[in-house]
Structure 1
Amino acid sequence: MFTATATQAPSFEEYAVVSWAMLYRSAYLLAGNHADAEDLAQQTLMKAHASWAKVSASDSVHAYVRRILTNTFLSSRRPKGRRLELLTDEVPEWGRAPGVAGSTAGMPGASDERMTLWPHVRQLPPQQRAVIVLRYYEQLSEAEIADTLGCSRGTVKSTAHRALKSLRAALEVSDDQTRAEPDGKEA
């Protein structure tokens, strides 16, 4: 989105206004719920603001901020016993997220296939979830993911392999449970 040049770097305020929806969406995909997504996106913008001179001087402001977002998510894991989560059986309403306006076209969850897969993605460990979100929801290449996560392409490949293996196993179990349910009863 934003590429800094020597003559025209965006101000922090301009960047924050234009990129909030994208940051929130990515944060939601990583965090898995609206409250944590808002916190994560806000923390990311606070960190970007604190070092805006360095961020705006980078080759790609968006890539730099995406790395801040991903690293903040990965480093902010709290012990499960202390983490508050809103548990729900309902699918999130993508077009109604605070701060995110517009169509749901192109958003994760826009297809039934992605909505079936999403609960299983949420169960992945944070590093695996980050690789899956960056690769399949954000459409980044292995090299871009490696740069974002600060690791090698081999690490990205092996992490993606483990994540996809886990997702396949979870989907097989889910399909087996669906087939085993008696006719006439809803899941």
Structure 2
Amino acid sequence: MDSSTTTRGADGGPPEFREFAVSQARHLVRTAYLLTGGDAHLAEDLAQEALGKLYGSWRRISRMENPAGYARTVLVNTFLSHRCRRSSSERVTDTFAEAPGRGDDPALRVALLGVLAELPQQDRAVLVLRYWEDLGVEETAAALRLTPSAVRSRASRALARLRTRLGDQFDDLARP
């Protein structure tokens, strides 16, 4: 690449990518946090890995209509591929990384994250994209490479599991 055609930042990368990464990093980490079921360290790793993938193709991605949406798709795919790789090499434990409780109701947050972590990864990804990211069925389907009917049925089944698993506990936790 000719340096006369592209301005480089102090770190050697295009300044537009740096601005994009700074503006999107927090949102990507929050989304990854939900995808991982509350693992803050893994969430940061996944967001960083996704941004690294974006950096390699930034020239093409920066010309897209919605680079933030593409970044979210890359994050979800990074999460899904990480789960596949990890399933053969790591074992699940019953201990959780310490994470500070934030928000109005830490008990509700912990209960929801715990139940969310029990869902299969595809169902969790559907719920996070549909209800956390507030994407439509079509957008979620495109991001996960599923059909819209598969997104609707996965969301319905996953929400039913959440309701069943939380039961009366949800009503108690949701009260002010």
Gaps of 5+ in 1: 1-9, 96-103, 179-187
AA partner of residue 54 (structure 2)? A
Tell me by how many angstroms 1:16 deviates: 0.7
* 1:17 lines up with 2:22 in the alignment: yes
* Cα contact 2:34–2:113 (8 A) shared by 1: no
Q: How does 1:148-167 map to 2 (within 5 A)?
A: 148-167=143-162
For the aligned residue pairs, the C-alpha RMSD in angstroms reads 2.7
Q: How does 1:3-14 map to 2 (within 5 A)?
A: 11-14=16-19
Question: Secondary structure of 1:88's partner?
Answer: coil
Post-superposition CA distance 1:50-80 (Å, at most 9, x none): 1112211111010010000011111111116
Aligned position for 1:88: 96
Aligned position for 1:34: 40
Aligned position for 2:50: 44
* Cα contact 1:27–1:69 (8 A) shared by 2: yes
AA partner of residue 53 (structure 2)? K
CA distance in 2, matches of 1:42, 1:110: 29
Tell me by how many angstroms 1:171 deviates: 1.4
Q: How does 1:103-114 map to 2 (within 5 A)?
A: 113-114=108-109
AA partner of residue 58 (structure 1)? M
CA distance in 2, matches of 1:71, 1:94: 28
Q: How does 1:115-134 map to 2 (within 5 A)?
A: 115-134=110-129
So what's the TM-score if we normalise by structure 2? Answer: 0.76
Aligned position for 1:144: 139
Tell me by how many angstroms 1:84 deviates: 6.5
AA partner of residue 95 (structure 2)? L
CA distance in 1, matches of 2:16, 2:40: 27
Question: Secondary structure of 2:146's partner?
Answer: coil
Tell me by how many angstroms 1:141 deviates: 1.3
Question: Secondary structure of 1:23's partner?
Answer: helix
So what's the TM-score if we normalise by structure 1? Answer: 0.72
Aligned position for 1:55: 61
Q: 1:149 to 1:110 in 2, by over 3 A?
A: farther
